[in-house]
Chain A
């Protein structure tokens, strides 16, 4: 084994240029595919955060009597998917608002009478935090006669979800495309190497080398190419990530969510994949060559 690895390394040294091209191609493919993966990881992170915090606000009409509040609360609690209902009186709402906007406190001084409505904050059980269920619940709450308005983060999230899905599809398509391109280039590199040494391969066979003996170092070369390309691609992505997240931390977006990098497992998976890619390229060109 060590002997084969040594031969593979010598081979790479002798064919530096071709290997470099293959490695860069793999790195580029890995970069693009893992950029998509990174996007998904972060996008689904945001969706998850939202799902965990899913809540529906129901605002009461101004003339609802205090005695009725408890009845309405019970009604809502009885609806499917509701975990908890908290009553927030107009006074509490004002206090919360003031606390949120301390610096602008002077605004409230001239406000006069409290214009805010009484409200319910409704939390949902985990299983009901899907898009459709939130919508159904909201409609049901709205049908209660004393409720004036129901609010939930519908519009932007709905749009985000569909964009997310669109990206997912293009991501898969691009990933597959780049994977194929990389396999093709690796296969070609190995083919060129084989072609440049077909005489040597022929002589090796004449002195009794088995196919395995001839193939093993080439497979190792393919896998090493894949590994180098994978590491290079992920490192480039990491550099890009550092640059972007450094900028974002200062901007508005930074306050809403933390941009995350790939987990160690994903790192590892990507590099294993690109090693597989190297192997596959090698397999394809050898299949063709050794038959000839």
Chain B
């Protein structure tokens, strides 16, 4: 049994999606289903379009052509006032972390819960526990610029998961980590996956992919390559 048969309706459906930046084709005719509670890697060389794909899913960029459905909601039909609510269902780890430099670690992570109107006491509890999971609880009061790349990445991960999102998008979440820390992070993501989250990880770290054995989607110059089943390699 393959992993992607686990969930029921697909969490993410992409249907002939194109993305152009001016004349440059970042993504070309992508049709892709990601099942609910599936764990998927998106790989490909630099410039292949991995980040672009995640940005489309998070509504950071609009599609140029085609349709994307998340949880059955068509992203090109959603009114802009609903975008924040959709984003709250999705935790995202940016390749460049995107932490707020004027807020400390705790505040950065807490922001996600604040926008969801969670009670103060709840926020304290949840943020502390998530920071403990990523091993950053003793740096709660530090500011992002005083942290190493790996530490910032862990804060970004904490922020992505603190709101218990149904979908987690991760752009090179192990990019700044040594292989031990990278394994810890992948273990974390697997844990969230086992608790029901759909996970999409963009990476070109093939060691990581091999060690998890999940489905892999290959991008090359913005095009989807023939799907490579993880089982084939296993």
Which of A's residues lie within 8 Å of B, judged by CB?
A: 3, 14, 197, 199-200, 203-211, 213
Contacts and interface: CB of A to CB of B under 8 A. Distances in A.
Nearest to A214: B115
B100 A210 contact: no
Given A197-B102, A199-B100, A200-B102, A207 B58 contact: no
A207 B87 CA distance: 6
A205 B84 contact: yes
Query: Could you say which of B84, B85, B111, B163 has the most chain A C-beta atoms within 10 Å of its C-beta?
Result: B84
Q: Which size class do B's interface residues fall under?
A: 20 to 34
A199 B94 CA distance: 14
A208 B88 contact: yes
A interface secondary structure, majority: helix
Given A3-B114, A200-B102, A213-B115, A207 B85 contact: no
Contacts of A203: 98-100
B100 A206 contact: no
Contact of B98 (A206, A208, A209, A210): A206
B92 interface: yes
Nearest to B114: A3
Contact of B111 (A199, A207, A210, A211): A207
Given A3-B114, A204-B111, A204-B115, A210 B84 contact: yes
Interface in B162-196: 163
Nearest to B103: A200
B215 to A, nearest CB: 26
B114 A200 contact: no
Contacts of B114: 3, 213
Contacts of B73: none
B159 interface: yes
Contacts of B159: 207
Contacts of A197: 102
B92 A206 contact: yes
17 contacts: A14-B102, A197-B102, A199-B101, A203-B98, A206-B92, A206-B94, A207-B87, A207-B115, A207-B159, A208-B85, A208-B88, A208-B116, A209-B111, A209-B115, A210-B84, A210-B115, A213-B115
